[in-house]
Structures are given as C-alpha cells and as structure tokens.
Amino acid sequence: WQEIQTAAESIPQDAKAGELLTVLKQGFSLMKKTGAKQKAVIFTESVETQKMLQNLLSDRYRTLAYNGSADYSVIRQFKEDGEVLISTDNGAKGFNLEEAAFIIHYDLPYNTLKLEQRIDRCHRLGQENDVLSVAFIDKNNFADVRKLELVNKRMLVTDGVFGITDDVLGGFTDDVKAAFPVIAQRLRPRAQIEQAYRHTLSTHEEDNRQTVSAAEDILFTTFTKELADKVKINPKYVNRRGQELNNDLWEITKWFFTRYNEKNDDCRFVIDEFNRTITATEYRELPVLFYYWTGSRNRPYRSQKMYGMAKDFKPKAGQITLSSIIGRGILHELECANEGVLTIPTVQAPCQIALYTVTLVSGSSRTEHAVLCGLTDSGKALDDAACRSIFDLPVESSTEDERRSPHWLKGTSRPHPLDRLVPSDKMMAEQLERLSPAQAEEMERMKQQVSADKAALSRELNTLDSQVQQAQAELEAVTGDRLKRLAAQKKINQLRQEYMKHQESQFFDAMRLDMELEEKMKSFADKEKLTARVQREFVVVIDKNAKENN
C-alpha cells in the first residue's frame, strides 16, 4: 500500500483533469459559435472526484456541485448564472437542464440507460441547440476499457427493446484539439435548428393532425374513466368539444321548454335563440318542471325565473350545464316515439330497423354504444353499417307512433324479433381484448407484491442464519475458557430455536400470502367480469311507398 501511495503522489499532474480543461475551453468556444449558453454539466461517479474537480475548476469558471441532496438551490443557481455543474448520477434523475447543451462524462458508467439518462437531462423539450456529449476513456486503464466493453454489451441487449436509436458512444479520438474542428462541422447554429424544426413540422403537419385526431378518438371511445381522467387534453380540444356538447344541450333544452309550453298554460317560457336564454313569463307561481333524485328520495324541482347557457350567467342556479339539476333533469325527461314509419322510395327492400343502447360494464368501467340492427321483409339481416346507409337515403315522408317514453323506461318494452340481432357477444369480446392487458397488469402487480413479501420473510430467516453462523465461529475461536464456551453454546442454542420458530412461521406465512393472493385475484376477476345490458330505443319501419293507414 505504501508503494501504491508513493506512486500516486509522484504523479505531478492528473492527465485526465488536464484533458478536461482542454475540452471545456474548446467546447465553450464552440457553444459561443452556435449560439448556445456557456454552460456545461460534468458527471462523475464519486463525490471525491466531484470535490477534486470543483477545486480544479472554481478559479476558472462559476462552478457548482450537486450530489443528490435535498438542497435544490444549486440546480436553480446553475440555471440562472452557473457555468459548470459537477454532478453525480443523482443529478441525472428528475431535473431539466435544457439551459446547457454541453455534457461531459468524466467517469463512464457501464449502464447504457444511465448514460442516456445523463444526456436526456439536457437533450429534452425546450433545448434550442444540438447537444454535445463528450466521454473520457483511457485505453491504457483497464477499468475504463472494461466499462466500455460492458456498455457495448448492454447496447446490444437493449437495442430494439428500449428504443435506443443512436449510438451513445462513438467517434473515438486520441487528439481532442483536432477533434473539435470536426465536431464544429456537425453542430448546427440555432437559426438552422429552428429552420429545420419548422420544416419538419410543416412536412408532417397532416400526419400529425391525423395522429392526434386518432388518439383523441381512442381516448373517448376506448379508455376507462379512470384512465381518461389522468390524460391531459389540450385547451383547444377541450373548448371545441365543450362547444359541441353545449350546442346539443341547447337544442334539447329548447325542445323541453317548447313541449312544456304546448302542454301547460300555467307558465310561458320565452326562448331567446340569440342570447341562449329561457325566461319564465305569465305565471302566478313558478311551476314544478320535474322530479329529481337527491340520493335518498325524489324531490320536486321548481323552475327558476330565467335560465342561460353563458359561462358567466347569473344567478348560478339558472345556468344550463350537463351537471346542473336543470341539465340533468332535461336529459332524464328526454323521450322519443317507440315506433315509426319512413317512406324511402330508393330503398332496395322494405325492412325494419331498431336502435339499441348496449351498455358494457366491467368493474368501475362503463361504456355505452349505439347500435343499429335491421331485418328485411324477406328475412335478410342488416348490420349497423347497412342500416346507416339506408338512413342516408332521401326520405319522402315520415310518421311516428303517438306513444312516447323516456330513455330510462325503454327497458320495460315487450320483446321484438330484432332483439336477437344485437351483436352483444361480439362487442363483449372486443371490449375484453381492450380490458385484458390492464387486468393482466393489475394481476401481475398483485403477484409481484406477494413475491416481495415472501422475499422479506426470507431475508429475516437469512439474517438469523447469519447470526447462528457468526455465533458458531465465535464458539470455535474460544479455547480453554469453559465458561465462555458454555455462554457461546447457550447463545447458539437460543438463536437456533429462534431460527426454527421463524422457519416454521415463514412456511405458514408464505402459505397465507398465497391463499390471500388467490382470493384477491378471484375477487378481482369477479369484479372485473364483463356484462352487457341491451336496451331498445325505437323501431322504424322502412317502406318504398307511403300507405294511407300510416
């Protein structure tokens, strides 16, 4: 050890540290040419190396050090006016350092993902420059060579698995000064990067728009409510979808109050289309519009003097929204005829078409689907697409049955031949395909938790076993002193008894964990079991010629 210490102290200058000074000087000069800020992040593996470099660089640059403490002021200070941040790999977790475009791996980690994680601190959204990454490798140092070998092996393993698209190591050179002119040809000025970015956006604008549209459709038709609530939607989309829903709600609101005016004379509601308001007039007492469920009983809802759709409408109780009492009440009362007749001269064959609401329920997930099913007079079944194509044809005339009922009463109607055509089994199979990955993930999480609990039990047993082995070694080390040997033997016996108790307890605890897991998985499977409820909304008879008796 003394020889090693003497050899180390005889080295007048750290060659690696000297190369670092050269790289920083050349790199900062290159940052200035490309328009990037003079900021560099240096990663080390040990705190000792970090301290050594801080002493080396503090006289030349505004240097800061971070090694994973709870004091984040160092990171903030570097972002504001620091030039060099020396960090261990703890600094590569959770921080955005897009202010810097220059990264130096003073110590090379053998983990490829750690290497990419370091680079990703700077190469992320908000970065306006190409990021320069420099790694120090001494080909005469066996440790560096071994790390490089491990990095390359891990890159082969992770290629195509974690989506690594570029080599994180490459461009090796023995002459740092000669390498920078070559690097300068590859690093683009900020203006050129911005131009390329705009060109890429323009080129892929239509593809991006279609991708976003498809993702939004999937979100609102496939995701469960729990997943959808966790997804952040951009404000533009929310405003557009909100406006579409409000337009539909306004049309339904007008229908509700128009029908009230037709059926009642105790109050007249004036509809202002331009301002989207409803005003009660010609009344002695504001009427009861409907009954609504409070959670424990039905309660009468008495009309307000005025209603409105505007966001800032006052009073708040008169604002018409999907979640307000008036909005929910109107939707609850919405009704349509149970049957009707359409005369479509261009239809190929007379038929009947029914609209169904299929509600698929699985645990906390609930989705509703509107499905059309049809049957020609000759007995040919019509699927949803065929029915929709018929409804797209021009209609000559229409009549409907006078019997009307709201949606919530439709399930009480008598059976109809079209009911058997509803593809509820197929819809359930498709829904199960979407649900099964999430269910499998939850079950796997349950299994992993049990495995972790069992591992904790094994660690306790291993600890006791180690104590027994240590006590046995202490006994063997005692010679001549009979009392000490008796005390050591007594300790061993106690530890062995405790070990046997824990071993027996571990067996039963592991069995209990397995049984609890089985019960949890069974309960989860029963809870997530998919069911379908089919509700017929109306039936339409399609004919080529109008009939007088209709």
Instruction: List, run by run, the mean pLDDT of 10-residue segments along the chain (550 residues).
Output: 88 83 91 90 90 91 83 82 88 76 86 78 82 85 77 59 50 79 84 84 81 69 62 73 91 94 94 94 93 80 93 87 90 85 92 92 78 94 93 91 76 78 86 65 77 81 82 80 82 84 78 80 69 88 70
| CA 468 vs CA 4, 198, 350, 476, 503: distances in Å | 39, 69, 89, 12, 14
Nearest to 162 by CA among 119, 96, 117: 117
pLDDT at 546: 67
pLDDT at 165: 42
3-state secondary structure of 20: helix
pLDDT at 156: 59
User: What is the spatial distance between Cα 325 and Cα 159, in angstroms, rounded to a whole number?
Assistant: 56
Domain extents in the chain: 2-196, 237-333, 341-550
pLDDT at 372: 95
pLDDT at 502: 80
- 54: tokens are 């801080």
Cα 226–528–358 angle (5° rounding)? 80
| CA 475 vs CA 468, 469, 514: distances in Å | 11, 10, 39
Topology at the third CATH level for domain 2-196: Rossmann fold (3.40.50)
Task: Provide CB contacts within 8 A for 20, sequence distance 6+.
Answer: 42, 53, 56, 104, 106, 136
3-state secondary structure of 308: strand
User: What is the spatial distance between Cα 537 and Cα 407, in angstroms, rounded to a whole number?
Assistant: 7
Nearest to 108 by CA among 91, 94, 89, 122: 89
Phi and psi dihedrals of 83, rounded to 5? Answer: -110, -40
pLDDT at 187: 85
Angle, helices 424-477/482-527, rounded to nearest 10 degrees: 180
Over residues 262-293, the pLDDT tens digits come to 999 999 999 999 999 999 999 999 999 988 87
Nearest to 85 by CA among 114, 107, 63: 63
pLDDT at 163: 42
pLDDT at 413: 63
Provide the terminal-to-terminal Cα distance of the chain, rounded to the nearest Å.
Answer: 108
pLDDT at 162: 42
pLDDT at 265: 92
Q: For residue 375, what is the enclosing H or E element?
A: strand 365-376
